[in-house]
Chains A and B, each alone.
Chain A
């Protein structure tokens, strides 16, 4: 490895820049997913309001789909050992030879899938602080499409603080992730398990199991279920981050499926029990009062005076997941810039070997997003990006398997799973178009606009690269 990354140079890859050259066990890969159950809290209330008693089934189905998809992405990760930053980078490698616009689209879509964790997490922290400790601070400043509340101010402060801390150095090793993940699991485990043993779950709130309209065989029900699955996917598929380390496992063929299955089971437990406990203990009416902070009444009912501590732990969990997301999305932006998929400059490292420009860009975009909407609207916009990257990468995984079938690759997913990858792509496609609009056309339009921005940015990058590569013949002519 050259020292090109020092002092603001440009390494060839994130793996090179961040020194990812370890031999990891399956547990190290699994540990990346320990923070993912916290993402349940981002939308569990809204999905419960929309789909009622179907919501627990929607979450379980969503995690199961994510589990199957993760095997496809694991094979892709193993095939590109020099890439690091998420499955979109592997999908881009497959697609760029077939259509030059699909590669930047999937990379940018993946960035926009992860990056808004910052804005949503920040707003949720602000929302929980307000609900728990500052209920009288209900002022709002509005100007055009923007608005500022106490939640926005608190959230923005948290984002800037996290940016400042990460400016010093990046610590995203598997060991650090294990510790952070375990800490973030604690409050969620308390909120989910204690109400069950304390007898707070009212079974009457969990039935009858039917769509809100009461009719199963109508397009409206399909749209409602698709809308629930659409938003749930953003959280429930997210444990696919496990696959990032596939090429660094000691034995990818054995460790990759173990890590995926372990993460899948962990998330099935949390994503299966969480909505059941929330619906059963809080009830649909109280969830609907403020779905964004649906766990606040659960904490108050279950822990009484101890709710302050549980909410404080929950806020720490949000901070940890924001920290994980800022590292991941900055890495994606960094790698996208290195690979020439987006504007130059984001591939620069600071003196401390931190992709500070990519991180700063991330924080800037998220501060704007925080002004624009409610957490669930931002999440819906972000899910547009996530669905686009999933659709492209599942199809890309299929093509990659076909193209490399004669090769010996570090990990090969079961044939049956590779065969259904395009079917899963089509399934996600239906969720994108049939389910997305239920969360508001404005949110969906925002998501599409930001994702499609990938194309002009890519064209500008190509133009800028071509301009920079021009030989200085004319200048020589003048001097002669």
Chain B
């Protein structure tokens, strides 16, 4: 698809359809987005403690931080699936 910028009406229609698609995609995902953000923040805190710490403390928090990160990424996966929660 090639958008010609001299055809401003076509650009407007396209932008409008993107808006609608994003609104539909975001509907009902606010709560899960908050949980997802909380997981990322927890991973960040754990990694910060790991960097500050040393020895066993550092190792434990690195493992926890990286595990939380993997969990956070994995939480996104169902949303990507073709027939996931957004019904796509």
Q: Chain A: residues with CB nearer than 8 A to chain B? A: 1, 20-23, 79-82, 93-94, 97-99, 102, 219, 222-223, 247-248, 250-252, 395, 398-400, 402-410, 419, 422-423, 425-426, 429-430, 432-434, 437
Contacts and interface: CB of A to CB of B under 8 A. Distances in A.
Q: Provide the main secondary structure of the chain B interface.
A: helix
7 contacts: A80-B15, A403-B86, A407-B17, A426-B69, A429-B69, A434-B51, A437-B48
B22 interface: yes
A99 B69 contact: no
B40 A403 contact: no
A434 B23 CA distance: 35
B5 A403 contact: no
A407 B18 contact: yes
Q: Provide the main secondary structure of the chain A interface.
A: helix
Interface in B30-72: 30, 33-34, 37, 40, 43-44, 47-48, 50-52, 58-59, 62, 65-66, 69-70, 72
Nearest to B24: A403
A430 B69 contact: yes
A1 B5 CA distance: 12
A226 B25 CA distance: 34
Interface string B11-26: 1001101100111111
Ranked 9 nearest A-B pairs via Cβ: A403-B25, A97-B26, A433-B47, A21-B5, A98-B33, A408-B1, A437-B51, A403-B21, A404-B21
A425 B44 CA distance: 13
B76 A422 contact: yes
B62 to A, nearest CB: 6
A97 B22 contact: yes
Contact of A426 (B24, B48, B72): B72
Nearest to B59: A219
B22 A219 contact: no
B18 A404 contact: yes
Contacts of A23: 4-5
Interface centre among B11, B47, B52, B66 (most CB of A within 10 A): B47
Nearest to A100: B30
A407 B33 contact: no
A226 B34 CA distance: 28
A402 B70 contact: no
Given A79-B18, A429-B40, A223 B25 contact: no
A231 to B, nearest CB: 15
A222 B17 CA distance: 45
Interface centre among B2, B22, B40, B66 (most CB of A within 10 A): B22
A400 B88 CA distance: 12
B4 A399 contact: no
A402 B4 contact: no
Contacts of A1: 8
Contacts of A423: 73
Given A79-B18, A404-B18, A437-B48, A410 B1 contact: yes
Contacts of A252: 1-3
A383 to B, nearest CB: 15
B33 to A, nearest CB: 4
A417 to B, nearest CB: 13
A224 to B, nearest CB: 12
A398 B11 contact: no
Contacts of A21: 5-6
B70 A400 contact: no
A407 B20 CA distance: 11
Nearest to B79: A402
B36 to A, nearest CB: 9
B3 to A, nearest CB: 5
A423 B86 CA distance: 21
Nearest to A391: B40
Nearest to B69: A426
Contacts of A400: 22
